Amino acid sequence: MMIYFASDHAGATLRSALLAHVQAAGHAVCDLGPYDGASVDYPDFAVKLAEAMQQHDNAYGIAVCGSGIGISIALNRFSWVRAALVSQPEAAALARQHNNANVLALGERLTAPEVARHCVDQFLTTDFEGGRHERRVEKLGKIGGNHC
């Protein structure tokens, strides 16, 4: 399983810590940056993450910005991405079980590093249940256009 990491400048410290945590657990990782601490725009790194994930079936992503809100909104613009913004491990597990989320979004300013690590662990070790949830997840990929 390939796990892609991306953030903006406000999420870079947590991104780096989580990347090291996931790498130490033996997973293949790819760090999409940013790397130098300069101020950057979260939509640019959401695009990098979404495009990287599109190239690999079964890829997962971990995205971090200051609150997690902006990067999750940007990621969910892509039909193949199901980004879940969570702040508790239970929510990370439910995002996988019920929503087949493939990106975990976190806010560095709002989530303690230890809690974020537990969220990542739950996200990466929880399987999608399928069943009654399958048709709902399929509908997510079909939403688009102008709805009133």
Residues annotated as catalytic are 65, 98
Q: How far apart are CA 51 and CA 49, in angstroms?
A: 6
DSSP letter assigned to residue 35: -
- In whole angstroms, give the CA distance from residue 91 to residue 17: 20
Indicate the helix (H) or strand (E) that contains 124.
Answer: helix 113-125
